[in-house]
Amino acid sequence: MSGTAVIRTRGLTKRYGELRAVDGIDLEVAEGAVYGFLGANGSGKTTTVRMLLGLVLPTEGSAEVLGAPMPASRTTVLPQVGALVEGPGAYDHLSGRLNLALLDAAGPDPLPRRDRRRRCAEVLEQVGLDPADRRPVRAYSLGMRQRLGLAAALLRRPRLLVLDEPTNGLDPQGIREIRTLLLALNAEGTTIFLSSHLLAEIEQMCTDVGVLDRGRLVLQDRLDQLLRPSGLVEVHSPDAHAAARLLGDAVVEVAGERMLVRADDAASLNHHLVGSGVRVARLGPYERDLEQVVLEASSVPPAPVETRAEVLTS
């Protein structure tokens, strides 16, 4: 991974009794990235985010955020980090704007009163909330609370945003708005680390992906690397066994009538097969989407396939 790392962990581990909620992970988040931290419910995403922010102490391993060790450097690092962790807290009887003003005043270096009013109004507008809305937060929907949490994270123009499931509770339109906002912030230089269990969300906005599976980091790479052309062609043929004998070592996998073949050019492969009397029902470049990549990396067992060797000896 290129660039300076703004988050780096080494062997980061959190045990709860026998359970390894987070199990020896080495995260590497480059400056300027939009890093998607994927994993099923209970895989350890929130625990990791809490350790990065110094809210939970690791059992083993280390974490650096913005080049400084956490939690030891919490007081210097956290003012430069905007965070949204599950279930953002707010004073229910106060308006969103007052909540933000209080949050700012409680910070280490509050803005002057006039700037504070302007800044609060600005971030509320950024996340799609009306700064003139005087209703108490208790009247907010889940989506509005989530937006308010995001506004709080943006208050200090952070270098790094750490967001745990930021689109939780939002409808599709709200999800699109937040995605547009986050991409705009990233274009201005903010590094974004967001956890999600939604593959489509990660695929649409992230430059880098890490996948947690029962506490272990089973995949970490640039998204364009993960989705790069495979150099494989997918062939469906009722004569798959004959095709496998014909193509020899180029065949990577055969399952029933479907096979994966290493080939530079699908059209030439088709010509070769048909010219040799092999019937071809369907043929084209094999492209994996993020869902397939994640399934292959995770513990979910893949669909059973016969190997080429089994086919050739049958």
Which SS3 state, helix, strand or coil, does residue 105 take? helix
182, 161 contact by CB (below 8 A): yes
Q: How far is the CB of 162 from ligand ATP (least distance, A)?
A: 13
Nearer to ligand ATP, 52 or 293 (CB): 52
Rounded CA-CA distance 119/236 in Å is 59
32 binds ligand ATP (CB under 6 A): no
Stretch that binds ligand ATP, among 24-32, 35-43, 70-78, 295-303 (CB under 6 A): 35-43
The secondary structure of residue 138, as a DSSP letter, is: G
143, 88 contact by CB (below 8 A): no
41 binds ligand ATP (CB under 6 A): yes
Question: What number of other Cβ atoms are within 10 A of residue 95's Cβ?
Answer: 22
Residues within window 115-144 making contact with ligand ATP, judged by CB under 6 A: none
Q: How far is the CB of 46 from ligand ATP (least distance, A)?
A: 3
Nearer to ligand ATP, 15 or 288 (CB): 15
Stretch that binds ligand ATP, among 40-48, 113-121, 218-226, 302-310 (CB under 6 A): 40-48
217, 25 contact by CB (below 8 A): yes
20 binds ligand ATP (CB under 6 A): no
Q: How far is the CB of 104 from ligand ATP (least distance, A)?
A: 28
21, 42 contact by CB (below 8 A): no
Query: Considering only CA atoms, which of 232, 235, 230, 231 is closest in space to residue 283?
Result: 235
Rounded CA-CA distance 81/166 in Å is 15
On the CB side of 150, CA atoms within 13 Å amount to: 31
Stretch that binds ligand ATP, among 39-47, 71-79, 176-184, 254-262 (CB under 6 A): 39-47
Q: Which tokens sit at 269? A: 């492969």
Nearer to ligand ATP, 9 or 43 (CB): 43
Q: How far is the CB of 209 from ligand ATP (least distance, A)?
A: 15
The secondary structure of residue 111, as a DSSP letter, is: P
Residues within window 45-74 making contact with ligand ATP, judged by CB under 6 A: 45-47
Residues within window 220-249 making contact with ligand ATP, judged by CB under 6 A: none
16 binds ligand ATP (CB under 6 A): yes
Site string for ligand ATP, 175-214 (x = CB under 6 A): ----------------------x-----------------
The secondary structure of residue 248, as a DSSP letter, is: G
Q: Report CA-CA distances (Å) from 58 to 34, 36, 209, 249, 276.
A: 24, 21, 22, 48, 61
Q: What is the DSSP string of 67-87?
A: TEEETTTHHHHGGGEEEE-SS
Stretch that binds ligand ATP, among 16-24, 25-33, 99-107, 222-230 (CB under 6 A): 16-24
Q: How far is the CB of 141 from ligand ATP (least distance, A)?
A: 20
How many chain residues bind ligand ATP (CB under 6 A)?
12
Positions in the binding site for ligand ATP (CB under 6 A): 16, 19, 21, 39, 41-47, 197
